[in-house]
Structure 1
């Protein structure tokens, strides 16, 4: 046993040497001693050696009663690496390396530095397993971590970070990224995820994120409101887009069925989200009086392929159907829907979905957004997202026509606060109209 113990200690020393070597390479790059290519090449080689050493160490400590190594296997059905510790105790992880780190951590080998990055990965894995959250939520959290947490800070051991250290990094991040107050709250969400997990599982004793005052730091954020031209389209812009769509409907390449054009026309009139447009069914058109908006199309990546699926709730309902919302069918909306239905009948296109291809398959959000983006860019617009139609409808039509904010929020499917804070912009190119009103 003494030989095994000494051998394990020697492996730990060699692993830590590789970690130190990687940090030295990063410091040499920062000082201009080596190029980024050389640094990346050497770090990759070092990490390969480190993983090999970790495998040897696991083989020493993760053993059966007869002294042979316990099995570590990949379960393709769950896309997980798994191993059995003892009895009902099992460990699993998304990658072999992360599972090896967990095993060594379990046996108190202390070769895993409890870095922010490492704790974040553990917290994400636990959240994915216990909170039943969507893959989109996990993807968003990873994107936010990568955006707000620098590589250098992510490599810090969480135990070594004090409240003052966290405040200093937050100030540095604010100067570097100049986020909006809303973006700052996303940064706080990442910190909360990391430290709450660390406290719950005993990596640290105190949640220092509680000492980070939102008010104190949000005042240092970019509090300027975007200009109208950066968020919405003018009525003239909308008219240009509508005319361009009707022009493109005559293009030979669409064979008389420019389905994306119909989607854009309805988005302009209703402010429906892209995912809501794609999941809209003819059964949701109620007696040509109301559109029942109560679903959306979501997507997920499984085994390398992206799949799309229907869910019976909208974005604002957050996974629990509350009946959706109803939008009144105006004369313009009725004309769009009638023209589309007539065209589909003429071409013998049958589908339960309003927006479908010639085979009756529903349109995906990605395909719609790609077409919209290309159309808008070809017309010289910097605004290329479907979201602009929601905001333009609110600012150009709802507000000037005196629709109360409670109804504006209800029609668009969000809160009154959201409507006032994020959707209400001054109209563009309306000085002549205002002059006429003032003269009158």
Structure 2
């Protein structure tokens, strides 16, 4: 019997022969359109080509659809039922209306797919290869999938990668940029998907010239949306945060939550610490010290065909798959009050869990559920931004900066670089013109929510 490697090589050779037949079909159709051949001649030759294709598939099936002694299994036509039938194993049979359809089913059963050179197929192979050999998280793989689905059109996915040249790829990129008008970061994600696909094709000799190398980022980035987001599109005002607290208190008293509104606790902690959603979901009671919260883990989601899995990893987003000990966030009076109230509530209700934020039965909160709930919650109180990320940027802009926390400490507490903090987290506060006037007139100090504690005074208390 042939080895898997031998069968794969054989399948690739069959694919090349089938490609020749497909090319010939296209030529015949073009010749007919140009009145070079008659309809009868075209149909006659197309019939011959179809017969050759079936013969090639029969040859490949004979290599994989075999008995224990290595001889091919029988494929028969049942005239009574008008079906092509074969036995796979034991009493398991498969059937189809045509011989070619049955041959395709057999090849699919043995996972012996004929090589396809479409962009879509090469992307699947490239992503699987990256998943197998690279040290990358499921989140990275999912981002490639999301970017591919966003930027690669249905029509472009079906193109033969061997026929995509510099001009056609640049033309597609130009149309895509004009249609979606992406931000710079989004365009670079698109470029990353192209690199993944075409680098893999080049490494495996499917193409000789990599057209992605001809794309000038600078030229396309000029067509992207380069506007800086307004504060109102990214952060919450102090009034917005007070509205959130008020609504959390109201909902906590509703019968449906049984006095245990765990999403409310999560939001309060997010506002007070700027923790990421995955970090909130993965936070354990063993991560709570007397003086600080040890933020060193996150919950990730892996999305496959038909299922979703949530899992715990011992590293944060900025550590990129390699644990470096995480970061410590000092426990302020407000944070201590949140944790004390939550622990007391859980004890009263006999809730036992390793996780700080959990359901009544002790199960951890799934990140997808938290995101979905938060989006609806924020919409219900008519707030402009509806994601957990807004709490991180609001803490930085509304609290850290006005209280004079150095940028190095701001970056450390939020778990990212100084450059990221300055470029992407520092926004002008909303609705504080009167406060600015009063401060310039020397009348009042900045107004902050009551639950926010000055970090410097907290450090002195614990010293």
TM-score (norm 1): 0.77
Give me the whole-angstrom Cα distance separating, in 2, the residues matched to 1:256 and 1:137: 38
- Given candidates 153, 159, 163, the residue that maps to 2:162 is 159
**Is 1:297–2:299 an aligned residue pair?**
yes
Shift of 1:212: 1.5
Contact 2:296/2:314 (<8 A) preserved: yes
Contact 1:55/1:100 (<8 A) preserved: no
Match of 2:240 in 1: 237
Q: Deviations over 1:176-209 (max 9, x none)?
A: 1100000011011011001111111001122221
- Given candidates 343, 349, 352, the residue that maps to 1:350 is 352
DSSP 3-state at the match of 1:286: coil
**Is 1:282–2:285 an aligned residue pair?**
yes
Match of 2:311 in 1: 309
Match of 2:399 in 1: 397
Give me the whole-angstrom Cα distance separating, in 2, the residues matched to 1:320 and 1:126: 21
Where do 5+ consecutive residues of structure 2 fail to align?
1-13, 31-52, 75-85, 90-106, 443-463
Match of 2:103 in 1: none
Match of 2:183 in 1: 180
- Given candidates 141, 145, 149, the residue that maps to 2:148 is 145
Larger-Rg structure: 2
Deviates more, 1:125-134 or 1:230-239: 125-134
Match of 2:81 in 1: none
Structure 1 residues 182 and 19, CA gap change in structure 2 (3 angstroms): farther
Deviates more, 1:209-218 or 1:53-62: 53-62
Q: Deviations over 1:124-143 (max 9, x none)?
A: 22122222544333332122
Q: Deviations over 1:96-118 (max 9, x none)?
A: 399444xx44xxxxxx4x22222
**Is 1:258–2:264 an aligned residue pair?**
no
Q: Deviations over 1:217-241 (max 9, x none)?
A: 2122100011111111101100110
Q: Deviations over 1:9-55 (max 9, x none)?
A: 9x9499839996xx99xxxxxxxxxxxxxxxxxxxxxxxxxx99985
Match of 2:108 in 1: 96
Match of 2:411 in 1: 409
Contact 2:142/2:303 (<8 A) preserved: no
Contact 1:15/1:53 (<8 A) preserved: no
Contact 1:15/1:54 (<8 A) preserved: no
Structure 1 residues 162 and 17, CA gap change in structure 2 (3 angstroms): closer
Contact 1:119/1:198 (<8 A) preserved: yes
- Given candidates 167, 172, 182, the residue that maps to 1:169 is 172
Deviates more, 1:303-312 or 1:374-383: 303-312
Structure 1 residues 381 and 58, CA gap change in structure 2 (3 angstroms): farther
Structure with more contact order per residue of length (Cα contacts < 8 Å, sep ≥ 6): 2
**Is 1:197–2:203 an aligned residue pair?**
no
Where do 5+ consecutive residues of structure 1 fail to align?
1-7, 25-50, 75-94, 106-111
TM-score (norm 2): 0.73
Shift of 1:376: 1.1
Match of 1:16 in 2: 22
Contact 1:279/1:296 (<8 A) preserved: yes
